[in-house]
Amino acid sequence: MRSKLPKAVKIFLTVVCAGALVSAICNLAPELVFIKSFLGYAKGLDHKAIVLAEPVVKIASTLVCGVILMVLVVALALGKSWARKSCIVMAIVRLGGTAFAVVSLSAVFCLAQFLPNLDCWSVVSQSLNKLRWWNGIEVAVDALLAVFALSVFFRHAVVAWYREDATLENKWKNRIQCLTFWVLMIAVGLVCGMVQGVAGKLANPRKLADKFPRLRVAELKARADLGDAPSMWRLGNWERNGWLGEKHPDKALAWYRKAADRGNRFALNDLGDCYEKGIGTETNLEEAVACWMKAAEKKHGWAACKVAIRYQKDKKPKEAFEWFQKSADIGSDYGCCKLGECYEKGWGTETNAVLAAEWFLKGAERRHSWGMEKTGDFYRDGYGVAKDLDKAREWYKKAVSRGNKNAKKKLDALPVDTQADKSGK
């Protein structure tokens, strides 16, 4: 005979159902809106199934997972013991997922203390940007569910409820049923994941852009309708470069502005280029610098370099040096080289051969051919480092492999025998 559900369990079931409903709506609604928008933009085009495969699979996966959860809830309401145990396991998994997210974010900050080139805020923001707003709601629901399970469900209801059928036969029967449910659920999850992976590969952006460029544009417009800033920025690139035939600088500027308003650093950088070169608008250097500064604040190294170069042209060496320093700290290879040049020539700072060699070397290690060439020069001349023609030859060869013609001339001019230079003779 079915046992009466404790009040705490009824509340728990209500929370589970509400959370599942919110999660399903938040996952299904954007995909449905995307499909509707995409079909409108891709009207008359063939091969639409390539783009639609991934969102359709996501919708199917959400519905399948919802059905599984509803089966569990119904079984729980009917007093099935395996469902009780499964519900406990699910709450633990939810709690574990929340704890894992907290630990992962904490680990990023800890790593940032030991890796100076890692900007923890940038990593965290990029990770969070990948989560759309509906995923954030789902995470919040999961967290509330886990807290509720700890404070109410595990506290008193489960202990007595779990022991109702404590005979050995029932224990093993329920364990097998619980195990079967979880094996089936994991199997369904794996199948959904594999199908979604295949659908994602079919709609690979690069392949789609090469084979079906108009489909790619239709997809980007549909994503842009959902407020996706990277899609807006890419649409600006398509219009600016005329990858569908004609160039539309005014449309490119409009897309860059929309993406920039949403804080996309690449769009801010390109919007600054538009103001600098008069693409789709009148030339406005002040607006260009303002856009580059905003992009630099979001860790765009090349944008910081552009600000520094503009200060150089305005004959403000100290300000230029500061911005080259910011660019190098972000990790820009060109910024490292320009900062090395500042130390080499005394632009905005005192001349320092050692620091010049260090920053050019950092640029070289980031695979910048100019940095490789200058590092070779320093080893050849013994400027800021000990003279070593073998290392000079090594860096010149690396620069040549990157297409540096000046490095090829310098490499050919080096003497063949360098043993005498190493011994100091």
Among the three residues 207, 241, 260, which one is the final residue of a domain in this structure? 207
Say whether pLDDT at 280 is over 90. Answer: yes
Query: Within this chain, do residues 200 and 319 fall inside the same structural domain, yes or no?
Result: no
How far is residue 301's CA from residue 117's CA, in Å, rounded to a whole number?
A: 12
Identify whether 88 is part of a domain.
yes
As for how many domains the chain has, the answer is 2
pLDDT of residue 178: 66
pLDDT digits (tens, 9 = 90+) for 197-251: 777 777 777 778 888 899 999 999 999 999 999 999 999 999 999 988 899 999 9
Query: Within this chain, do residues 197 and 319 fall inside the same structural domain, yes or no?
Result: no
Asked if 349 and 343 touch (Cβ cutoff 8 Å), the reply is: yes
Give the pLDDT band of residue 75 (cuts 50, 70, 90).
confident
Strands (E), 71-206: none
pLDDT of residue 23: 76
pLDDT averaged over the chain?
A: 80
Identify whether 217 is part of a domain.
no
Identify whether 218 is part of a domain.
no
Identify whether 261 is part of a domain.
no
> Which tokens hold the place of 292?
């580059």
Identify whether 307 is part of a domain.
no
Cα separation values, 139 from 66, 67, 143, 260, 291, Å: 16, 20, 6, 27, 34
pLDDT of residue 424: 43
Cα separation values, 228 from 41, 182, 207, Å: 16, 36, 21
pLDDT of residue 218: 94
Q: What length does the chain have?
A: 425
Strands (E), 173-256: none
Phi and psi, residue 167, nearest 5°: -65, 155
How far is residue 178's CA from residue 97's CA, in Å, rounded to a whole number?
A: 21
Q: What is the domain extent for residue 127? A: 7-207
Q: What amino acid is encoded at 152 in this protein?
A: V
pLDDT of residue 133: 46
pLDDT of residue 152: 47
Distant-in-sequence, close-in-space partners of 286: CB < 8 Å, separation ≥ 6? none
Percent pLDDT > 70 in the chain is 69
How far is residue 369's CA from residue 98's CA, in Å, rounded to a whole number?
A: 45
Identify whether 272 is part of a domain.
no
Among the three residues 173, 207, 241, which one is the final residue of a domain in this structure? 207
How far is residue 134's CA from residue 63's CA, in Å, rounded to a whole number?
A: 16
How far is residue 156's CA from residue 178's CA, in Å, rounded to a whole number?
A: 22
Among the three residues 157, 173, 207, which one is the final residue of a domain in this structure? 207
Report the pLDDT averaged over residues 97-123: 58
Instruction: State the pTM of this model.
Output: 0.72
Q: Given its phi and psi angles, is residue 107 left (phi above 0), alpha (psi -120 to 50 degrees) or beta?
A: alpha
Find the CATH number of the domain harbouring 335.
1.25.40.10
Asked if 333 and 365 touch (Cβ cutoff 8 Å), the reply is: no
Q: What amino acid is encoded at 72 in this protein?
A: L
Identify whether 156 is part of a domain.
yes
Give the pLDDT band of residue 1 (cuts 50, 70, 90).
very low
Say whether pLDDT at 313 is over 70. Answer: yes
Identify whether 396 is part of a domain.
yes
User: What is the distance, to the nearest Å, from the Cα of residue 185 to the centroid of all Cα atoms in its chain?
Assistant: 29
User: What is the distance, to the nearest Å, from the Cα of residue 41 to the centroid of all Cα atoms in its chain?
Assistant: 27
